A and B are shown apart, each in its own frame.
Chain A
Amino acid sequence: MIHGHYHNSLSVHINESALQSTGHASLDDTISQLIAEHQEMVINTCYRFVLNREDAEDISQEVFIEAYRSLPKFRGDSKLSTWLYRIAVTKSLDHLRRKKRKKRFSSLKRIIGQEDPIQEIQLTAGSSPAEELLEKERLDVLQHALDALPENQKIAFLLSKNDGYSNQEIAEIMQTTVPAVESLVHRAKKSLQGKLEKIYKAKLG
């Protein structure tokens, strides 16, 4: 039974010296432990960026696959978890970039009269269609405002919204200092508030 043990395995510490070993079995064990320990944190990190559960799970799979490929190259400059979360951030940002490109392409298709059959519909259990619509609209507005943020502000702000990260950890992931993270988060909040107000001003105008 693969599932069900990850909570217990939180105490399991990956022996980073095991990474020096070239044996395939030890690499497999390490990745298996890594998944068990960090799957939820990785999924939730990706979720804060992409705001979609399915996408977050898909990206998280990619994160662990990338980790598996790059594990032999891991030099141990940072904690393994920090390195893993950095991959998660990079993959999430890549996904957002791809999505942006796709969106631009589908709007172009709409202009020339070819409707895109793939439309994202996200449903929240237990809410009325009107509430769902409102929620989706808010999420779209939020995503739009987030897209307009500079990348480092976006990363710092979204990681700060994830309960699991301290400013110290965010600084390690971003390879910067804690005061820099605090400043980025502050500027991101201010900028987001301004952008959102601008959007609603145009909407309610």
Chain B
Amino acid sequence: MQEWNTGNVKQGKPKENPMHQKQRQITLEAEKTLAMLDSLPRLEAHHLFRARVLERLAEEAGTPANQAFMNSYVVKMALMLMLLAVNIVTALLIMQPAEEESMLSRSDMLEIISDDYGSPAISYYLQDTKQEEE
């Protein structure tokens, strides 16, 4: 066997092309990875598996119907819309007094201006200018 090997070396057995060697390694790795699916162990169910499922089913059966209803998507959406509506109404209510306040301050301003211009000092001034004009 040894002689045969030595003979091969002596005869200069053609070395594998590094590119081919790399490709072979890649193919081998891919095959090994793919073979993992064949070597996956066959699982046995946990001895409490059935008990756990039955327990969950019992819990589910014990759940009140309204709770299941509450979990539904439609109800969640309706609640979100209601919340949004409440928020909008609240925002409007908060903004309304502010508007009133600004209205009041505007009327106050008007009152102040009319007071200022209707004051005796101004009327005196107005009287004077009238006399000068005459």
Contacts and interface: CB of A to CB of B under 8 A. Distances in A.
B50 A138 contact: no
A184 to B, nearest CB: 15
Interface stretch (B21-29, B86-94, B108-116): B21-29
A32 B50 contact: yes
B52 interface: yes
A57 interface: yes
Given A138-B33, A196-B29, A204-B25, A3 B44 contact: no
B126 interface: no
Interface residues of A, number: 43
Given A142-B33, A197-B27, A200-B30, A3 B57 contact: no
Contacts of B128: none
Contacts of B44: 40
B49 A138 contact: no
Interface stretch (A15-23, A58-66, A92-100, A166-174): A58-66
A142 B34 contact: yes
Nearest to B47: A3
B22 to A, nearest CB: 7
A65 B34 contact: no
A61 B26 contact: no
Given A3-B47, A43-B45, A53-B43, A196 B54 contact: no
A193 B31 CA distance: 7
Nearest to A157: B37
B51 interface: yes
B79 to A, nearest CB: 24
Nearest to A195: B30
A156 interface: no
Given A6-B50, A40-B45, A61-B52, A192 B34 contact: yes
B40 A47 contact: yes
Nearest to B27: A197
Nearest to A56: B43
Most buried by B among A2, A138, A189: A2
29 contacts: A2-B50, A2-B51, A24-B61, A28-B57, A32-B50, A35-B50, A40-B45, A44-B43, A47-B40, A47-B43, A48-B37, A53-B43, A57-B49, A60-B49, A61-B52, A61-B53, A64-B53, A64-B57, A68-B60, A138-B33, A142-B34, A158-B37, A161-B40, A163-B42, A196-B30, A197-B26, A197-B27, A200-B25, A204-B29
Interface of B: 22, 25-27, 29-34, 36-38, 40, 42-54, 56-57, 60-61
State the 7 A-B residue pairs at the shortest beta-carbon distance, nearest first: A196-B30, A3-B47, A39-B45, A200-B29, A200-B26, A197-B30, A161-B37
